[in-house]
Amino acid sequence: MNPMSANTTYFPKKLTLPTQFAIPRTVAAFLFVADLAGVFFSVGFVLWMQFNVPIEQLNQQFNPFASGIVLSGLIGLYIFDAYRSQLQIAIVWTRLRTIIILIIVSAFSTVLIYLSNIWEANWQLNQGILLASLGIFPLWAVLGRLIAVIYMRAPFGKVAMKTLLNSNRWLIVGASQGANQFKKDLAELYPLLESNARPLSGVVVATQAPLAGEELQTLVNYRLQGVPIYELPEAYEQIWYKVPPNLVNDNWFVFTKAFKLNSSQFHQNCKRVVDIIAASVLLAVLSPLMVLAAVAVKLNSPGSLLYSQVRSGYNGETLRVYKFRSMYQDAERLGAQWAMEHDPRVTPVGRWLRATRIDELPQLWNVLNGEMSLIGPRPERPEFDIKLAEVIPYYKMRYSIKPGITGWAQVMYPYGASVDDARQKLSYDLYYIKHYSFALDLVIALKTIRVVLLGKGR
C-alpha cells in the first residue's frame, strides 16, 4: 500500500465496548439465545417430570399469552442490563445481578398470570409448572453467564479478542482538530494499539482539504475493493451513535440522507398517533402513582404540587411544561440556574422523583395537546438557549422536531450542567433527528424504563 500522507494514522476497527470485554455483540447474542433456550428447557423439563409430557408437544400447542410472558421476561432482562457483556466479567456480580433481575422479572410474570387466572384454561401455565420452571431457569441463566465469563477469561477467548483487534483497522486520513479528537476518543476505547495489523477494514477521511491525486486514487481503489470510506461525522455515527456539531457544516445538512421525520408528513403523523395512544395509556396506568407523588410532594414541603417553566419548543416557539415540584419554594428567586449534583434546592422527595423521572409525568398533558412528543430532544429554558446557541454550532437544529419527555441524549449521556455537556447532548440529538425510526424510539423507551427502575435519573 502506498502511504497516503504523513498525516495518516492506523487504529483498530471499532467495537462498541472496550477491548478487555472481548466481543460484546457475540456474547450478548449468545446470552440471549441461551436464555431463550433455557425457557423452553425449564418448562419442558418440568412437564416431563410431572406429567410425562414429551418435549415435542410444546411445539404443537402455541400459547400467545405464554409467549408474551416469555417475551416480557426477556425484555425485562434487557432493561436490567443482563446482556451487557462487561457486567459478566465479575463472577460474583454476575450471580447477584442475574438472580436479582430474575426475581423481579419472575415476580412480575407470576403476578400477571395469577391475576388473569390464565392457568385455569391453559395447562401449560399450571401453578406447579410455573413455580418449578421459575426455580430452574435462574440456575440456567447464571450458568450461561458463567460460561461467558470463562470464555472471555480463557486463553482461547483472549486469542479471539486479540485476533479481532489485529485483523481489523481504521485508516485515518488527515490531521485536523477533528481528526486528533477522533484519535483521542478511539484511544480511550482501546488500551492496545498496534501498527502492523492487516487487513484494512475502513477509512475515515478527516480533512476538508482537497486530497492529492494519488491519495484520491488510493481511496478509489479501496472503495472498489469493498473497503468502506467514511467522512468524520459518519465515523462518529458508526462508533458512538452521535454527530458532534463541530464536525458538520451547511453542506452536510443539505446533502446527507435521512432526516425523514423532518421531511415526511407520514412519519410525523405516525409518531403523533403513537404519542396520543401511549400518553393516554400511561396516564391511565400511572394515575395512582401520580396521586401518591402529589401527596408526597405536599407533605414534604410547603408550596404548590406542580411547578411550571417556560421552555423552548418546536421551531423555537415557547411552551409551558409542568412537573411535580422537586425543589423548595422560591428555589430560583435569584434567577434561572442549571441543576447540579447534590443540589441543595432539591427536597428529599424531589430527589426521589427526579431519580425515577416521576416528576416529568405531568408533561404527558403536553404530549396530548401536541406541544411535545414522548421521545425527542429535551426542551431547554430560553435563557439558556440564547447563550448555548452563541457558542455551539447548529444548536437550534434540536428544535427542528418536537421536544420530548425523554430522548436519545437522556439515555446515552449522563446528566450534565455545562456548555460542554450541552454540546455533547446536542451531538446525540442530531443523531436522533437524522436517524429517527420507530425501532430507535423503541430502544429509547426501553432504556428509559431502565433509568426509571434503577433510579438513574436526575
Burial (CB count within 10 angstroms: exposed 0-12, middle 13-18, buried 19+), residue 354: buried
The pLDDT of residue 26 is above 80 = no
The span from the CA of 373 to the CA of 401, in Å, is 9
Q: What number is the average pLDDT over the span 335-344?
A: 64
Instruction: State how far the Cα of 353 lies from the Cα of 349, in Å rounded to an integer.
Output: 6
Q: How far apart are CA 308 and CA 263, in angstroms?
A: 32
- β-bridge mates for residue 8, sequence order: 173
Do residues 327 and 288 lie in contact, with contact meaning Cβ atoms separated by under 8 Å?
no
Rounded CA separation 12/166 (Å)? 7
Q: Which of 100-104, 222-226, 270-274, 306-310 has the highest mean pLDDT?
A: 270-274
Q: Looking at 73-87, 168-182, 187-201, which range is the least confident one?
A: 187-201
- Side chain identity, residue 258: A
Q: What are phi and psi of 370, to 5 degrees?
A: 90, 5
Model pTM score = 0.72
Contacts of 240 (CB under 8 A, 6+ apart): 185
Is residue 51 within 8 Å of 126, Cβ to Cβ?
no
Q: Which residues pair with 203 in a beta bridge?
A: 171, 229
Give the other-Cβ count within 10 Å of 53's Cβ: 18
**Euclidean distance between CA atoms 275 and 283, whole angstroms:** 12
Q: Which residue has the higher pLDDT, 90 or 56?
A: 56
Instruction: Name which residue leads in pLDDT, 407 or 180.
Output: 407
Q: Locate the domains of the chain by residue range.
A: 1-240, 263-328+336-454
> Where does 168-249 have alpha helices with state H?
177-189, 213-224, 232-240
- Asked whether the predicted pLDDT for residue 195 surpasses 70, the reply is no
* Model confidence at 307: pLDDT above 80: yes
* Burial (0-12, 13-18, 19+ Cβ within 10 Å), 290: middle
- 207: alpha, beta or left, given left = phi > 0 and alpha = psi -120 to 50? beta
Predicted confidence (pLDDT) per residue in 253-291, tens digit: 888 888 989 888 999 999 999 999 999 999 999 999 999
- Residue 317: pLDDT band (50, 70, 90) is very high
Distance (Å, rounded) from C-alpha 20 to C-alpha 29? 18
